[in-house]
Amino acid sequence: MHKFFDRKKRAGFFTLVFLAGCIATGQAQHDNRFEISKQLEIFNALVKEMEMFYVDSLDIEKTIRRGIDAMLEGLDPYTEYIPEQDMDNLQMITTGEYGGIGAYIRKRPEGVVISEPIEGMPATLAGLRAGDRILAIDTINVEKASADKVSDLLKGVPNSRLKIKIMRPGEKKPRTVELTRKQIQVNQVTYYGVQDKDVGYIYLRGFTDKSAREVKEAFEDLRKNHQIRSLILDLRNNGGGVLEGAVQIVNLFVPRGKEVVSTKGKIPQWDRIYRTSAEPVDTLMPLVVLINGASASAAEIVSGALQDMDRAVLVGQRSYGKGLVQSTRDLPYDGRLKVTISKYYIPSGRCIQQIDYTHRKADGSVGNIPDSLTAVFYTSKGRPVRDGGGVRPEFEVAEPPVPTLLYYLLNDYVLFDFVTDYVQKHQTIAPIETFTLTDEDFEAFKTYAREKNFSYDRQSEKVLQNLKEVARFEGYLEESDSTTLKELENRLTPDIERDFERFREPIKKVMASEIVKRYYFERGELIQNLKDDEVLAKALEVATSPDLIDKTLHTNQLPH
């Protein structure tokens, strides 16, 4: 009898607790709705007052857009407002297609120039080249226009015609080119082929709704027509894209019904588990995946999932660490909000998000999650892996640092313009496989840079100047006793001739890549870059050694 009343009391207590929780939740929701209404009313009134009384006339659209962008930038870099006029960019990201002429453009001080025409597209077929400065599109002068404005004018309905007025470097008169826009489809498999006799190689540049099909077709061709015995999938510099595309690519190499990735966010109804839904193409062939610090998002899902399933060995550098998922929401006037709605978790249960956007410092900056706060998870065979810092490869091969000199040569367009001049003097070059940059070409580039009065700043020199000022202020530097600092200053002062020789090899490598791209497009650039590629060399060592792969996938150690 007493037990019965005790149960009734406990039930009544829990009912009261439940009701209290519901009341508290309802009150919190009511307070939140009130706060939203309050702040929107303040913002609306503020805009009206500014429009009426601010001393100068306001561009309301630009003013509010700045406010929107600032608000969203305070969350994370991936949440953004997409107005109606920018919807074509969203379509290109998800499908890899758009209507246009097929060329990348770049804004320079003198105007907008074509930086790279795409192979087989209208721009290339019409004879447009990298370096051509766009003066007018149809009847619209664009000499002082932004790159976004020029891009909007170049895009349009497939089969529509347009005229482009350009000024080619080295020529005195502009020329007009007539083109027909077409549906541009950017292939995500930039190049595939055979390395070291029987190792297949596929480079994937991004993830769209067609990328899995491209990888499958490339793999089947390599397996059927080239009898490959292992495969290298290169995801370096792959910034990601459509999540479903990543799941489909994993599905090519693992059995049906395997969990690839799950997403969890604020709204439980939106949480999803993505599993392989089709029969795989191959589950046994040795697989090596290449990643680096620019491999992000969907590229990390593929590499991380294949690692967690012990299906592939990873080579390269730690990936970027983007474990956030975005979705789009419809907005008034045909705009969209691309918003982060969840985090994703790969098969071991880990989330590889590296930057903590929820805990900002006093100055608004964000930091990486330190390794000491990451947790250990386990692959299907019990190998330990960590969360919170990107995907770590089993075999890490360091990338050589980019010299400051090379950064300025690229950023100041000195190298770009030299290659433009080189192309005008050389109608053809050797095939990609045999092309090499000569010492004469390098010396010609040095002469070109000097003639253009090229100069550059170095951070080490600026830091040294600050050090001297602080040392002098604190009394540690006597004017009569500064021999050490003077020697250091002499060593750190930029010397073009000396630095060109010091960094001859990395400069020559980038020069060769840029030259080859002008003749053989993006595919040729990639093939050229694979020459003397230390990461690829390590991957080939792994891919051709079944014993090494088997040992690696059974080693009970953290990747390093």
Query: Which residues are identified as catalytic?
Result: 297, 308, 322
Question: Burial, 379: exposed, middle or buried (Cβ in 10 Å; 0-12, 13-18, 19+)?
Answer: middle
Question: Burial, 181: exposed, middle or buried (Cβ in 10 Å; 0-12, 13-18, 19+)?
Answer: buried
- Which residues have CB under 8 Å from 402's CB, separation 6+? 506
Assigned token pair, 79: 């949440």
One-letter identity of residue 34: F
SS3 for 98? strand
Assigned token pair, 201: 């190689």
Helix pair angle (404-411, 414-425), 10° resolution: 60
One-letter identity of residue 302: V
Nearest to 292 by CA among 317, 315, 321: 317
- Which residues have CB under 8 Å from 109's CB, separation 6+? none
Nearest to 111 by CA among 84, 141, 90, 82: 141
The neighbouring-strand residues paired with 519 are none
- Contact status, residue 319 vs residue 391, Cβ threshold 8 Å: yes
Question: How far is 189 from 371, CA to CA, in rounded Å?
Answer: 34
Question: How far is 461 from 466, CA to CA, in rounded Å?
Answer: 9
| C-alpha dist (Å) from residue 126 to 118, 164, 181, 442 | 12, 10, 11, 31
Looking only at the bridges linking them, the beta strands covering 355-356 and 367-368 are: antiparallel
| C-alpha dist (Å) from residue 408 to 147, 412, 466 | 22, 6, 22
Assigned token pair, 472: 């002098």
Assigned token pair, 508: 């020559």
The H-or-E segment that residue 216 falls in is helix 211-225
DSSP-assigned letter for residue 392? P
SS3 for 499? helix
- Contact status, residue 222 vs residue 200, Cβ threshold 8 Å: yes
